[in-house]
Amino acid sequence: MNKIQLIIALVVAAFSLLSYFGSSSVNPITGEKQHIGGMSQKDEVAMGLQSAPQMAAQMGGLTQDARARQLVAAVGAKVVAQSVAAKSGYPFKFHTLADPRTVNAFALPGGQVFITMALLSRLETEGQLAGVLGHEVGHVLARHSAERIAKDQLTQGLTGAFAMGAGSMDAAQVARVVGQMTMLSYGRDDELEADALGLRLMAEAGYDPRALIKVMQILERASGGSRQPEFASSHPSPANRVQKINEALARAFPNGIPAGLTP
């Protein structure tokens, strides 16, 4: 192995590690210390606004169903306005996609939240919709996208350093696979954290947080038993999420769920 090549590889690896671990901030909502590189809240908002039209176009555009659009916008606005999300500084906006086949909801950095008609049409109550939207708002508040981008940059830097040091593209491919598996594990943790935040947000907005359990059952039926094994998926299985949701509810409401919440 060329010594100069090895030195350069070590410098690249050190720079990647220093860039990642040398910058951190405390999330005011979750209280967690996060590594998000130099990405600011303003950067997240700009990224989400820029990406939103393209994401909508990829999934058939926005639905022409005015009642569906109004329902999603109203429930989303309530979840934000009546919870801690109102103090976050993110300009949340809720979009209903026309896609009738893909059962999905997702959030872009900075507060652009989407739900497909395929998922919306399966939901039975306003509380269930609040659970879905609260989960996505939770991703934004936890700054999961910013964390993921920073981790991806770290993975790319270490992969490049490994390939340079080994002098082999095959080695680079191996490193890339390892990096991807690391990213998947973070994805599962993110989903569980977003579930917990969603429970908090929907309860603060007056919705029964147990409605999120029903959402998991709906997702399980929609999957038709075709899910990947959990270890190879960024989303935990709905059954696993139900267990975690029940645990989170027990911690958040030790005296039981308050009466009078919207189901």
Residues annotated as part of the active site? 136
Three-state secondary structure call for residue 104: coil
Q: What are the C-alpha distances in Å from 190 to residues 66, 148, 187?
A: 32, 10, 5
Residue type for 91, please?
Answer: P
Spatial distance between the Cα atoms of 61 and 55, rounded to a whole number of angstroms: 8
Length of the chain: 263
Contact 245, 198 (CB under 8 A): no
Spatial distance between the Cα atoms of 165 and 123, rounded to a whole number of angstroms: 52
Three-state secondary structure call for residue 236: coil
Reading the block at residue 123, the tokens are 């939901």
Alpha helices, DSSP H, located in the chain: 3-21, 41-58, 66-81, 117-120, 126-141, 144-166, 169-204, 211-223, 238-252
Main-chain dihedrals φ then ψ at residue 106, nearest 5 degrees: -160, 165
The closest alpha carbon to 10, from 158, 138, 128, 180, belongs to: 158
Residue type for 143, please?
Answer: R
Consecutive H or E run containing 97: strand 93-97
Cβ-proximal residues to 248 (8 Å cutoff; 6+ apart), any chain = 195, 196, 199
